Amino acid sequence: MSERETAVSAPFRHRNADHLRQVDLIFYYTQDKKWMSLDKAKKLIAIAEKTGLIKKESTGDYSLREDLREQKIPLGFRPTDEIFVIDESETADSLEKLLDDVADASKIGKKELAGEMERIRKQFDNLICPEAAIILLAKKYHVSYDKYKADLIKRIGE
Protein backbone atom coordinates (compact mmCIF):
# COMPACT_ATOMS: atom_id res chain seq x y z
CA MET A 1 0.00 0.00 0.00
CA SER A 2 1.29 3.45 -0.85
CA GLU A 3 1.83 6.11 1.76
CA ARG A 4 -1.12 8.11 0.41
CA GLU A 5 -3.41 5.06 0.56
CA THR A 6 -2.36 4.48 4.17
CA ALA A 7 -2.95 8.12 5.13
CA VAL A 8 -6.35 8.22 3.44
CA SER A 9 -7.54 4.92 4.91
CA ALA A 10 -6.32 5.69 8.47
CA PRO A 11 -9.34 7.71 9.68
CA PHE A 12 -11.75 5.11 8.32
CA ARG A 13 -9.85 2.27 10.00
CA HIS A 14 -9.31 4.02 13.35
CA ARG A 15 -12.96 5.03 13.60
CA ASN A 16 -14.15 1.72 12.15
CA ALA A 17 -16.42 3.59 9.74
CA ASP A 18 -17.48 3.05 6.15
CA HIS A 19 -18.47 6.70 5.67
CA LEU A 20 -17.02 9.88 7.16
CA ARG A 21 -17.92 13.54 6.73
CA GLN A 22 -15.29 15.94 5.43
CA VAL A 23 -15.16 17.66 8.81
CA ASP A 24 -14.39 14.30 10.48
CA LEU A 25 -11.55 13.63 8.04
CA ILE A 26 -10.11 17.11 8.55
CA PHE A 27 -10.39 16.79 12.34
CA TYR A 28 -8.60 13.44 12.23
CA TYR A 29 -5.68 14.76 10.15
CA THR A 30 -5.29 18.14 11.87
CA GLN A 31 -6.35 17.69 15.50
CA ASP A 32 -6.46 14.01 16.34
CA LYS A 33 -3.16 12.98 14.72
CA LYS A 34 -1.69 16.45 14.11
CA TRP A 35 -0.28 15.21 10.81
CA MET A 36 -0.96 18.36 8.77
CA SER A 37 -2.51 21.79 8.57
CA LEU A 38 -6.11 22.50 7.60
CA ASP A 39 -5.13 23.45 4.04
CA LYS A 40 -3.07 20.30 3.58
CA ALA A 41 -5.90 18.14 4.95
CA LYS A 42 -8.30 19.67 2.43
CA LYS A 43 -5.73 19.14 -0.31
CA LEU A 44 -5.28 15.48 0.68
CA ILE A 45 -9.04 14.92 0.55
CA ALA A 46 -9.21 16.54 -2.91
CA ILE A 47 -6.29 14.43 -4.18
CA ALA A 48 -7.79 11.26 -2.69
CA GLU A 49 -11.09 11.98 -4.41
CA LYS A 50 -9.40 12.79 -7.72
CA THR A 51 -7.32 9.59 -7.65
CA GLY A 52 -10.26 7.41 -6.65
CA LEU A 53 -9.19 6.50 -3.11
CA ILE A 54 -12.36 7.99 -1.66
CA LYS A 55 -15.69 8.80 -3.22
CA LYS A 56 -18.12 11.54 -2.26
CA GLU A 57 -21.57 10.07 -1.77
CA SER A 58 -24.85 11.86 -2.51
CA THR A 59 -25.19 12.52 1.24
CA GLY A 60 -21.93 14.48 1.23
CA ASP A 61 -20.08 11.80 3.18
CA TYR A 62 -16.92 10.19 1.87
CA SER A 63 -16.54 6.45 1.47
CA LEU A 64 -13.24 4.63 1.20
CA ARG A 65 -12.41 2.49 -1.83
CA GLU A 66 -13.44 -1.11 -1.13
CA ASP A 67 -9.96 -2.70 -1.32
CA LEU A 68 -8.54 -0.23 1.24
CA ARG A 69 -11.09 -0.96 3.98
CA GLU A 70 -9.20 -3.89 5.49
CA GLN A 71 -5.69 -2.41 5.25
CA LYS A 72 -3.58 -2.29 8.39
CA ILE A 73 -2.11 1.03 9.49
CA PRO A 74 1.49 0.58 10.70
CA LEU A 75 2.17 1.52 14.30
CA GLY A 76 3.71 5.00 14.47
CA PHE A 77 2.75 5.82 10.88
CA ARG A 78 3.15 9.49 9.95
CA PRO A 79 2.79 10.60 6.31
CA THR A 80 5.38 12.73 4.55
CA ASP A 81 4.75 15.42 1.95
CA GLU A 82 5.03 12.72 -0.75
CA ILE A 83 1.31 12.11 -0.33
CA PHE A 84 0.64 15.46 -2.04
CA VAL A 85 2.66 14.64 -5.17
CA ILE A 86 0.36 13.52 -7.96
CA ASP A 87 1.76 11.30 -10.67
CA GLU A 88 0.32 12.17 -14.09
CA SER A 89 -0.76 8.56 -14.59
CA GLU A 90 -2.96 8.78 -11.48
CA THR A 91 -5.05 11.58 -12.93
CA ALA A 92 -5.25 10.28 -16.46
CA ASP A 93 -8.75 9.76 -17.70
CA SER A 94 -10.27 6.28 -17.21
CA LEU A 95 -11.32 6.19 -20.84
CA GLU A 96 -7.78 7.00 -21.92
CA LYS A 97 -6.27 4.40 -19.58
CA LEU A 98 -8.63 1.70 -20.84
CA LEU A 99 -7.86 2.66 -24.43
CA ASP A 100 -4.15 2.24 -23.60
CA ASP A 101 -4.85 -1.19 -22.09
CA VAL A 102 -6.81 -2.29 -25.17
CA ALA A 103 -4.05 -0.98 -27.45
CA ASP A 104 -1.41 -2.91 -25.49
CA ALA A 105 -3.42 -6.14 -25.44
CA SER A 106 -4.51 -6.02 -29.08
CA LYS A 107 -1.24 -4.62 -30.50
CA ILE A 108 -3.33 -2.10 -32.43
CA GLY A 109 -2.54 1.62 -32.47
CA LYS A 110 -4.62 4.05 -30.45
CA LYS A 111 -5.67 5.94 -33.58
CA GLU A 112 -7.06 2.78 -35.16
CA LEU A 113 -8.86 1.89 -31.94
CA ALA A 114 -10.32 5.40 -31.70
CA GLY A 115 -11.61 4.97 -35.26
CA GLU A 116 -13.09 1.60 -34.31
CA MET A 117 -14.78 3.25 -31.32
CA GLU A 118 -16.37 5.78 -33.67
CA ARG A 119 -17.57 2.96 -35.96
CA ILE A 120 -19.15 1.26 -32.95
CA ARG A 121 -20.89 4.49 -32.00
CA LYS A 122 -22.16 4.93 -35.58
CA GLN A 123 -23.56 1.38 -35.50
CA PHE A 124 -25.71 2.60 -32.62
CA ASP A 125 -26.61 5.82 -34.50
CA ASN A 126 -24.38 7.78 -32.09
CA LEU A 127 -26.80 6.97 -29.27
CA ILE A 128 -24.03 5.57 -27.08
CA CYS A 129 -21.29 7.63 -25.49
CA PRO A 130 -17.53 7.03 -25.89
CA GLU A 131 -17.42 5.37 -22.45
CA ALA A 132 -19.89 2.69 -23.58
CA ALA A 133 -18.01 2.26 -26.86
CA ILE A 134 -14.68 1.67 -25.10
CA ILE A 135 -16.30 -0.96 -22.87
CA LEU A 136 -17.61 -2.77 -25.97
CA LEU A 137 -14.16 -2.49 -27.52
CA ALA A 138 -12.53 -3.90 -24.38
CA LYS A 139 -14.96 -6.82 -24.44
CA LYS A 140 -14.19 -7.45 -28.12
CA TYR A 141 -10.47 -7.73 -27.40
CA HIS A 142 -10.98 -9.60 -24.09
CA VAL A 143 -9.45 -6.83 -21.98
CA SER A 144 -10.57 -6.48 -18.36
CA TYR A 145 -12.14 -3.12 -17.59
CA ASP A 146 -13.10 -3.86 -13.96
CA LYS A 147 -10.78 -1.25 -12.43
CA TYR A 148 -12.29 1.48 -14.64
CA LYS A 149 -15.88 0.24 -14.50
CA ALA A 150 -17.14 2.44 -11.63
CA ASP A 151 -15.71 5.64 -13.11
CA LEU A 152 -16.93 4.84 -16.63
CA ILE A 153 -20.44 4.04 -15.41
CA LYS A 154 -20.46 7.25 -13.36
CA ARG A 155 -19.46 9.22 -16.45
CA ILE A 156 -22.13 7.49 -18.56
CA GLY A 157 -24.73 8.62 -16.03
CA GLU A 158 -23.61 12.26 -16.14
pLDDT values of the chain reduced to their tens digit, one per residue, 158 residues: 689 999 999 999 999 999 999 999 999 999 999 999 999 999 999 888 888 889 988 898 999 988 888 888 999 999 998 888 876 555 557 888 899 999 999 999 989 998 999 999 899 988 888 889 999 999 999 999 888 887 787 777 65
d(CA 141, CA 33) in angstroms, rounded, equals 47
Tens-place pLDDT, residues 75-117: 999 999 888 887 655 555 788 889 999 999 999 998 999 899 9
Identify the pLDDT of residue 1: 67
How many CB atoms are located within 10 Å of the residue 57 CB? 11
> Do 109 and 54 share a structural domain?
no
> Do 114 and 77 share a structural domain?
no
Range of the domain at 58: 3-85
Identify the pLDDT of residue 52: 83
Distances 46 to 34, 43, 53, 56, 93 between C-alpha atoms, Å: 19, 5, 10, 10, 16
d(CA 54, CA 21) in angstroms, rounded, equals 11
Boundary of a domain, candidates 25, 50, 85: 85
> Do 22 and 74 share a structural domain?
yes
> Do 27 and 101 share a structural domain?
no
Is 44 in contact with 28 (CB distance < 8 Å)? no
d(CA 86, CA 75) in angstroms, rounded, equals 25
* DSSP states along 92-113: S-HHHHHHHHHHHHHT--HHHH
Structural domain tally of the chain? 2
Boundary of a domain, candidates 56, 85, 114: 85
> Do 135 and 66 share a structural domain?
no
Q: What is the value of pTM for the model shown?
A: 0.58
> Do 59 and 100 share a structural domain?
no
> Do 73 and 27 share a structural domain?
yes
> Do 117 and 55 share a structural domain?
no
> Do 98 and 81 share a structural domain?
no
